[in-house]
């Protein structure tokens, strides 16, 4: 069932079959992975999620405590907001969230 028509690299269509792409990569990285097991996994995933649109979010880099503190301190200065955002490669919303916390960064971000 694992089809060979999709490339393993970049450049596939936006509507590519992500199940096939993932299983192809598993087989490529683990040659001992049994293709019959891959076919069984594919069938189970299709039975559970077939027809649904699933979003796969990117996993962003989380700022360390020290980085959050530096962003907070710079947020209190007269440094332009856009400069802070570019320097730390964060969104405006992240800056607002850090400033709202008032320098308390013990919990999750």
- Quick: pLDDT tens for 50-96: 888 888 877 777 888 899 999 999 999 999 999 999 999 999 999 99
Residue carrying the six token digits 């990285």: 29
Which residue range forms the structural domain that includes residue 13? 1-56
pLDDT digits (tens, 9 = 90+) for 55-68: 887 777 788 889 99
12 plus 37 within the same structural domain: yes
Residues 46 and 5 grouped into a single domain:
yes
Place of tokens 């989380």: 62
Specify whether 49 is located in the same domain as 7. yes
Q: How far is CA 73 from CA 18, 41, 90, 97, 102, in A?
A: 42, 49, 15, 13, 10
DSSP output for 61-92 = PPPPHHHHHHHHHHHTSSS-HHHHHHHHT--H
Residues 23, 48 within the same domain: yes
Same domain? For 51 and 3 the reply is yes
* Same domain, residue pair 41 and 71: no
Residue 108 is assigned to a structural domain of this protein: no
Beta-carbon contacts of 94 under 8 Å, excluding residues fewer than 6 positions away, are 63, 71
Q: Say if 106 falls within a structural domain.
A: no
Domain count of the fold of the chain: 2
Q: How many CB atoms lie within 10 A of CB 25?
A: 12
Same domain, 82 and 42: no
109 assigned to some structural domain: no
């Amino acid at each position: 069932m694992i089809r060979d028509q999709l490339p393993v690299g970049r450049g596939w269509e936006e509507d590519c079959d992500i199940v096939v792409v993932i299983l192809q990569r598993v087989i490529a990285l683990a040659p001992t992975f049994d293709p019959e097991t891959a076919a069984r996994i594919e069938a189970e995933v299709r039975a559970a999620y077939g027809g649904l649109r699933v979003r796969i979010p990117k996993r962003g880099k989380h700022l360390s405590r020290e980085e959050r503190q530096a962003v907070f301190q710079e947020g209190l200065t007269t440094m332009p907001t856009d400069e802070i955002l570019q320097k730390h490669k964060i969104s405006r919303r992240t800056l607002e969230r850090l400033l709202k916390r008032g320098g308390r960064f013990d919990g999750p971000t």
